[in-house]
Structure 1
Amino acid sequence: MFKTTTDADLAGNPIDEFIGNSIKYAAVTAAAKLGVFTALREGPKTLEELAGAIGASVDGTRAVADVAAVLGWLELSDGRYATGPLAERWLDTDSVLDFTPALLWAYELTNVLWELPQAVRDGKPAQSLWERWADKPEAGKDFSAYMKVKSRLTVDSITEAVPVPEGAQRLLDLGGSHGLHTMAFCRRYPELTATILDLPEALANTGAALEAEGLADRVSLRRGSFLTEDLGEGYDVVLLFEIVHNHTDEENRDLIARAAKALRPGGKIVVLEDVRGEKLDEHNAAFSLAMFACSGDRTYSLPEITGWMEDADLATVEHIALPSSVSLVVGTK
C-alpha cells in the first residue's frame, strides 16, 4: 500500500509493510462493517449514492472506497463505484462460501488486538470474548457466522475422518455454535440424534439452520456454558471442535474428564484443534497469539491433549491428520 521509497535495499521496511498493511486491513473491514459491499450488490453507485446507501459522510465514504478500489475489492469507473473482482470472488451472498462474516469478525478482532500490549503485561486480556459479547451480542453473532463459513472449508474431510462407533445413536457437540458439523454427522449417519451445548448468542441462528435442513427433530439445542453445565451421560460421541485453545489447561483437563464420564463404554471424545508442533509454525504461532489476545489462552501440543485424555482414563488415544491446519485427537473409552 505505502511505497515511501524506490530504493530496493529499503523494500519491506516497517512503514510500507506494517502501516500500509494496517490501512489495507482497516479499509476493507470498515467497508464490510459499513455495508459498502452489500449496497453495491444492487448495482454501481456514485459516491453520493453510496454514501447515502450506507448512511455515511461523503468524504469518509470516498476515503474507504478509494482504498478498497485500489486493492481490487471495488472498481471505480466513470465516477461510479462497483464491486471489484475480489468482492465478486469472496463476498458472493449466493455462495455457501461467502466470506463476508470473516471481514466482520476481522473488524471486531481489530478492537481485541488493539489491547494486546496491556494483555501481555497483565497475562490476560481485560475481558474475554464471552465477556465482550455480553455487552456486544452482535459481535458474538458475527463470530458464529465466521466460524460457520470457516468450517465449510473442512467439514467434509472432518466428517469422513472421524471414527464414529458402529451403531452410534447419540452425539454431544460442545461449543457447536452454528451446528454445521452436527448437521453433517446427522446427514451421514441417519440413526444419529444430537445435542449442541453452547452460549445463547452463539446459538442465535442455529435453530433456523436446523429447520432449513429438516433436522430440527434430531438435533436439540442447550443454551449454557459447557464449563459448568451437567453434560449428561450415555453419548456415543462427544465433539470438542476448536474450543480447547480458548481455555486454560485446568479447564480443558476438567472438561475432558467430564466429557469422558458422559460417554458410554466404547464411546469417543473427538478434539478438533490446531495442534502446536515441536517446531514453530507460522500459522500456529499467529493463531496462538490471537487466542491469547481474545481469552488469555493458547494452542496446545499433542502430548498435552493426549495427557488430558489419558488422565480421564480413556483407553486409547489416536491422532488423525487432516488436509488443513487442524487435526483430530480421538480418545476412546
Structure 2
Amino acid sequence: MKLGVISENLLERLLLATNLVPRPIFDTQVALMLARTVMAGTKLGIFEALAPGPLTAVEIAAQCQTDPHATIKLLNALVGAQYLRMKKDGYTLTSLSRKWLLRDSPRSIYDKMLFHFTEWEWIEHYEEYVRTGIPLKIHAMLSDDGWGIYQRAMRAVTRFQTFEVVWRTPMPKNPHAMLDVGGAHGLFSVAFCRRYRQLRAVVLDIPEAVKHAAPMLANEGMGDRVVHRVGNALTDDLGINEWDLIFISQFAHHCDEATNRDLVKRAARALRPGGVLAIQDMLRPSSAKEPMLVLLTDLYFANTSQSGSWSLAEIADWQRAAGLQPLRPTRFRSLPGASQQAAMKPALKAQQQRRAKDSKPRRSGKKLQR
C-alpha cells in the first residue's frame, strides 16, 4: 500500500514512464493540499453537516458558520478528492466519507483527522531531528486538551484492528487475568474480554492518559471486567505469577533498549506459567527496499519517540533473555507495517526440568591422558 502519482490516460502514463512529469510537486504540494483539505473539511464540520442528506453550499456555510464563497472552494476541492459528490439538489457525502469521517460512524476515524493538526506540527521537526538526532518528547508537549484528542485518535485507529489482533494473538487455555500495558482507551482489553468470557483485564497507564480514556472505557459497558490502574509501567511492580496475558501495543517505540529489556523481564516474572507476553508495534525496516509506508512510518516514529521502531528479532531477543519462549511472529493485514511478537512462559514442569538440567555438572569433552 502506497500513495503516489496515478496516471489517468495513456499520455500521462507515458510521461510518467519517461520521467517528464515533475513528480516531486505531486509528492509534496499536491499531497499536502489534499491532506489539509480533508482535515479542514473534518474540523469545520462539513461532513457532519451533510450527514442527514444533500445541502447547497449556502446551507452548508450557514450550518458551519463559514464564508459562503470560501465554502464553495472547499466543497469543490472535496468533490475533486472524491470525498463529496455534487448533485442537482446540492452536495452529498460519498460512501468513503460517510464510512470513515462521520463522528458517529462505527468505523469513524474522525478524531484521528483532528489529531493530524497536532501531528502536522510534529512533522515540522523533521529537519531539526535529522540535523541533531534529537527526537521530540511528544508526551511532554501535549496540553490537557491535547491528551484528550490523542486518546480519542488512538482509539479511532485501534477500532479497526481489534478483530484481527484478538483472533491472532496466542492465548493460554481458560485465561482469567490480562494486563494491558499502556492501553489507555482499553479497546484491546474490551475486545479480548468479549471473546474470552471468563477473562478480566487491567489497563495500566499514566494519569494524563487515564483521565481522558476513562469515559471511553465506561461507554463500553464492561463494568469491573475491564478497569484502569493509574501508574507507570516503567517503574511499577507488575506482580509475580499473576497474569495469563500481558499485552503491550505501540509502546516499545517510546523506550530505549535497556528500558524495554527491563520491562520484558518484569513482565516475564509477572506471567503465570504458560502465560503469554504479546508485544506489537510498527516494525523497524530491515532495508530501504521495504514498502513506502513502512519506511515513512519509521522516520515518523524516530522523530516522535525516544528510540523509534524495533525489529521482531530484537523483541524476541528481549523475551528470550527474560526466560520466555518466542513464538512465531504475526504480521497484521489490518495495519500494514505492524507486527506482533508473542512469547510464552514455560509451564512449571518445564521450568523445573530446565533448572535441573542447568544445575547438573557438565562433563568436559577432553579425554584424560595417561
TM-score by structure 1 length? 0.86
- Give 1:36's aligned amino acid: I
Equivalences, count: 328
Per the alignment, residue 141 of structure 1 pairs with: 148
CA–CA distance in structure 1, aligned partners of residues 231 and 324 of structure 2:
29
Displacement of 1:54: 2.8
State the AA in 1 paired with 2:258.
E
Equivalent of residue 250 in structure 2, options 242, 245, 252 = 242
Which residue pairs with 1:330 in the alignment? 342
Q: 1:124 aligns with which of 125, 129, 134?
A: 134
Task: Report the alpha carbon displacement of residue 195 of structure 1 after superposing the two structures with TM.
Answer: 0.5
- In structure 1, stretches of 5+ residues that fail to align are none
Alignment of 1:288-303 (within 5 A): 288-303=298-313
1:113 paired residue number? 123
1:198-277 superposed matches below 5 A: 198-204=205-211, 206-233=213-240, 234-276=242-284
Q: Indicate how the Cα distance of structure 1 residues 64 and 305 shifts in structure 2: closer, same or farther if over 3 A, else same.
A: same
Q: Which amino acid aligns with 2:273?
A: P
Contact 1:319 1:328 survives alignment (8 Å): no
Q: CA deviation at 1:305?
A: 0.7
SS in structure 1 at match of 2:328: strand
Which of 309, 314, 326 is matched with 2:319 structurally?
309
Q: How does 1:13-24 map to 2 (within 5 A)?
A: 13-24=23-34
**Alpha-carbon spacing, 1:161–1:65, altered in 2? closer, same or farther (3 Å):** same
Residue in 1 aligned with 2:361?
A: none
Give how far 1:78 is off.
Answer: 5.7
Partners of 1:25 and 1:303 lie apart in 2 by 35
Higher Rg of the two aligned structures: 2
Asked whether the 8 Å contact 2:247–2:277 carries over to 1, the reply is: yes
Name 1:153's counterpart in structure 2: 160
Q: Identify the residue that residue 178 of structure 1 maps to in structure 2.
A: 185
Among 191, 198, 203, the alignment partner of 1:196 is 203
Give the aligned partner of residue 168 of structure 1. 175
Deviation (angstroms), 1:23: 0.5
Q: Distance in 2 between matches of 1:310 and 1:323?
A: 23
Task: Kindly indicate whether the alpha-carbon contact (under 8 Å) linking 2:285 and 2:295 is maintained by their aligned counterparts in 1.
Answer: no
2: distance between equivalents of 1:308 and 1:170? Answer: 23
Q: Alpha-carbon deviations, 1:138-197, whole Å to 9, x = none?
A: 333333333323323332222122222223321100111221211111122222211101
Q: Normalising to structure 2: TM-score of the pair?
A: 0.78
- Cα distance between partner residues in 2 of 1:33 and 1:248: 35
* Matching of residue 318 in structure 1 with residue 327 in structure 2: yes
Partner of 1:285: 295
Q: Residues 32-78 of structure 1, C-alpha deviation per residue, up to 9 Å, x if partnerless?
A: 12222122224444444433433444454344333222212123456
Check whether the contact 2:107–2:159 (CA below 8 A) recurs between aligned residues: yes
Sort the Cα spacing of 1:263 and 1:132 in 2 relative to 1 into closer, same or farther, 3 A.
Answer: same
1:248-278: CA deviation from partner (whole Å, max 9, x where unpaired): 2222222212222322333221111233353
Inter-CA distance 58–120: structure 2 relative to 1 (3 Å threshold): farther
| Cα displacement (A) at 1:216 | 1.6
Q: Which residue of 1 aligns with 2:350?
A: none
Match of 1:96 in 2: 106
Between 80-89 and 101-110, the greater mean CA deviation after superposition: 80-89
Aligned to 2:64: 54
